[in-house]
Structures are given as C-alpha cells and as structure tokens.
Chains A and B, each alone.
Chain A
Amino acid sequence: MDFAQAIIEATSDVFNTMVMLEAAPGMQATEKTTAFNDAISGILGFSGDIKGMLRINCPNQVAMAITGSLLGMEVEEIDDDVRDAIGEIANMIAGGLKIYFTRHNHIIELSIPTAIGGQSYTVHSLANAEWVAVPFTLAAGVMVVELQFVGLK
C-alpha cells in the first residue's frame, strides 16, 4: 500500500471539499521534523489492522489561514477556534485514510483528535514505527501531514 498516496488523497480531498484552499503536495519528506516553534499539531491515534498516529503540523500562520477558510471568517490569533479546527482537520484526514485503507482491505478504527500548540515543543513517537510524511504548500506556508504506524503485515 502506498502510504504517501493515501496521505495525498485524503488531505487533498479535505482541502478541496471542506477547507477550500489550495494545498499542493510536495515530495515525501526524508527527514523527520520533531521540534516546532509557534505551531499547532493536530494528532489522532488509530488502531485495528494498522496501529498508528496521524499528525498534521502547521505553523501558526498556516493554522490561522486554514481556520479562516474553513469557518469563513477572519482569524487573527491562535484561539480555541483554531485549535478546534486543526483537530477537526486531523479528524477529517484520518477519515479519508480510513476509507483508503478499507479499499485496500485494512480496517482501522479512529480515536479522537487532540490539538497540541505552543511556542516551543517537540513530538516523539516509537522508534520502531514506520514513518511517512508529505509536505503541502499553501499560500500561508507549509503544512506537513505525517503517519507513523506499526502492524501492517
């Protein structure tokens, strides 16, 4: 199964139909970025045939642009609307991944989204998990959608 393709399909679908913003997928990332400054990450765990975590990492500017477009209003600061929106985007992308996986005969169940934000934080996952990340370029900056997973036979 092509996980980068799964990320691109699920993310493009959400951005084309729900967020209404152009998000151009780039080349699959080769190096992990784990430290973030003035950013928000939407995180959602999933389990089943494949166990893992989906994470979308957005610089504050990108998070505000996404929220503004999703809600149809001006967003000038990182508030609860932005945190809710980034969690919800993670949820929607995970829903798209679930459909993609199901098409490939892998059933997963989703947990609930959490938004992590702050001036300075690092994220960390199991060392032995597989990792696939795809950057998306928006007018406001670059968002990275990452999947970490284990268990695929």
Chain B
Amino acid sequence: MSWETHIADATVEIFSTMLMMEVSSQPPLTERIKSHQDSVTGMVGMAGLYKGMLAIHAPSQVAMTITGNFLGLEVDSVNDDVKDAMGELANMLAGSIKAKLSDNSKDIQLSIPSAVCGDSYSLDYQPQQGSSMVPFESAGGRFLVELQLEQQT
C-alpha cells in the first residue's frame, strides 16, 4: 500500500473540488524537511487503527493564496482566516486519506485541527513505521503535505 498515492490523490481532489485550484504532486521527498521559515502549518491528529498526524506546510505567501481561493476573498496577511483555513484543509485531507486507509469510518478518528506559523520553526517526531512528505506545485507556489502513520497491531 502506498501512502504517497493516497496523499497525492486526496490533495489533488480536495484542491480541485474545494479550492478550485489545480495542483500537481511531485515525487515524495527522500528526506523530510523539518524546518520551516515564514510559513504556516495546518495539522490534525489521527487515532484508532492508525495513529498519526497529517500536516500541510506552506510558505506564508502560498498559504494566503490558498486561503483566498478557499474563502473567496483577498488575503494580505497571515491572519486568523489563514490559520483556520490551513487547519481546516489539514482536517479535510486527513478525512479523505482516512477513508482511503479503511472502509470502516470508525477505525480512524481525527482530533481537532491546529495551526502553527512563524518566522522560523521546526516540527519533529519520533520515527514511526511510516512517514512521507509529498511536495505539490500550484499556480500559487509550492507546498508540502506530510503524513506520519503507525498501524496499531
């Protein structure tokens, strides 16, 4: 089973149906990027049959473009709308990936989304069974979708 394919399919689908944005997936990164500069990260936890975390990382400029498309308004700073939109996007991506991982919707449950932003921050976690980071290109710029998953036995 390829998590990268699930990430790519879910992201392309959600951007095209919810944000009316065409995005294309790039080959998964062989080494994850953990430091982010002038960026916004939306994240949501996954619990149950699979435990994990889904995150979407975008440079501030790209996050503003995404939010503008999402909400249909002009966005000129990283305000609460942008943080809410990135958190909600993480929530939608995780919801879509969760449906691809298991037919039973009760097997995986999502936490509430959260967002982090700033000039310079890093995200770390202990090595899990599976982790992948997929870059996407859009007209607004490049962003990353990251999934860490651990299947419960």
Contact = CB atoms under 8 A, between A and B. Distances in A.
Given A53-B114, A87-B126, A121 B53 contact: no
Given A43-B114, A52-B111, A112-B128, A117 B121 contact: yes
By secondary structure, the B interface counts as: strand
Contacts, number: 139
Interface in B89-146: 109-126, 128
B114 A124 contact: yes
Nearest to B118: A121
Interface in B48-84: 48, 51-53, 55, 80, 83-84
Nearest to A109: B47
B52 A112 contact: yes
Given A87-B125, A111-B45, A114-B43, A121 B112 contact: no
A45 B117 contact: no
Nearest to A114: B125
Interface stretch (A2-10, A14-22, A125-133): A125-133
Nearest to B109: A47
Contacts of B122: 83, 116-118
Interface in A107-153: 108-127, 129, 148-150
A116 B121 contact: yes
A66 interface: no
By secondary structure, the A interface counts as: strand
A80 interface: yes
Contact-residue bracket for chain A: 35 or more
A13 interface: no
A126 B46 CA distance: 17
B49 to A, nearest CB: 9
A123 B123 contact: no
B121 A114 contact: no
B150 A45 contact: no
A111 B112 contact: no
B150 A112 contact: yes
B11 interface: no
Given A45-B46, A122-B116, A124-B116, A111 B121 contact: no
Q: 8 closest A-B pairs (Cβ-Cβ)?
A: A45-B45, A45-B111, A111-B45, A121-B118, A118-B121, A47-B109, A109-B47, A121-B121
Interface of A: 43-48, 51-53, 55, 80, 83-84, 87-88, 108-127, 129, 148-150
